[in-house]
Structure 1
Amino acid sequence: MSTESTTTGRGSRGFEIVLIAVYGIFALSATARSLVQVLRDFSYAPVAYALSLLAAITYIAVTVALVRGGRSSALARRLCIAELAGVLIVGTLTLVDPALFPDATVWGHFGQGYGFVPLLLPVLALFYLRRR
């Protein structure tokens, strides 16, 4: 095996590990946040909190699909497309109809509260899955 292919394989696997770790962190944090929101004050912002829970479920599903790899890559790709659509739709809604979102969500304002990582994450994942 050549040094170049070994290095590329390691770099690719390193990026995959970081991608899975970031998705895992978002899965945990979004789940914790949304559960607290839903259980404590759902009536205050039902749309926002329901969408936060949807984001959490999406992050969990993408994390599992990425960890499983192989045939789950097609599922991961579809989930990332759905995630990106969610970020774009929720981000747009938070700007167009802020009354629906009296409290922050993970995907609100295109993930601004999280440094726009929610917007960039599915794009990076789709790029990675395409190259793999």
Structure 2
Amino acid sequence: MNPLARIGLIVSYAVLALAALGRSSYQISTKFADAPLAYSVSALSAILYAVIAIALWKGRHRIALIGTSIELAGVLIVGTLGYIESSWWPDQTVWTGYGSAYGWVPLVLPILALWALLRARRAHLASSGDGA
């Protein structure tokens, strides 16, 4: 993977982890009873973002690939459910509205990360003679 792309992804995921951690910590500590599912999703997204950032930093591309796949699925599921049944999400999560409160970064970032990770994997397989 291109070193600049890797650093960009690591920084992006670290910033999102901190933002989601701050948001969820405040929400859980002050008003958890208002929207426990939404605030739990934000906390889980913070953990997932941190795992992805650390995996990218340590070169654990398989873990990063799995994490970004889970992230994209989560963003799509929570975002879609928010439009289908908004009463399930009485307050916003990091992934509500496909991450609109975060400038849609939670939707775009896993797509970019998956693209970069899969591209690097293909290049690695081609150079090692293990695949096309």
Whether TM exceeds 0.5 here: the answer is: yes
1:24 corresponds in structure 2 to: 14
> Which residue of 63, 67, 80 corresponds with 2:53?
63
Structure 2: how far apart are the matches of 1:73 and 1:62? 9
Structure 2 runs not aligned, ≥5 long? 121-132
Number of residue pairs matched by the alignment = 120
Structure 2: how far apart are the matches of 1:83 and 1:43? 25
Structure 2: how far apart are the matches of 1:26 and 1:17? 14
Q: Deviations over 1:69-101 (max 9, x none)?
A: 0xx111110111000000001001111111111
Q: Deviations over 1:46-81 (max 9, x none)?
A: 111011111111101101100010xx1111101110
TM-score by length of 2: 0.88
What's the secondary structure of 1:103's corresponding residue? coil
1:83 corresponds in structure 2 to: 71
2:49 counterpart of 1:50: no
TM-score by length of 1: 0.88
Q: What RMSD over aligned residues (CA atoms) do the two structures have, in Å? A: 1.0
Structure 1 runs not aligned, ≥5 long? 1-8
Matches within 5 A, 1:1-132: 12-69=2-59, 72-132=60-120
**Identity %, equivalent residues:** 44
Q: Deviations over 1:9-65 (max 9, x none)?
A: 8xx211111111111100111011101111111000111101111111110110110
Structure 2: how far apart are the matches of 1:68 and 1:24? 13
- The runs of 4+ residues in structure 1 deviating greater than 3 Å are none
Structure 2: how far apart are the matches of 1:42 and 1:34? 9
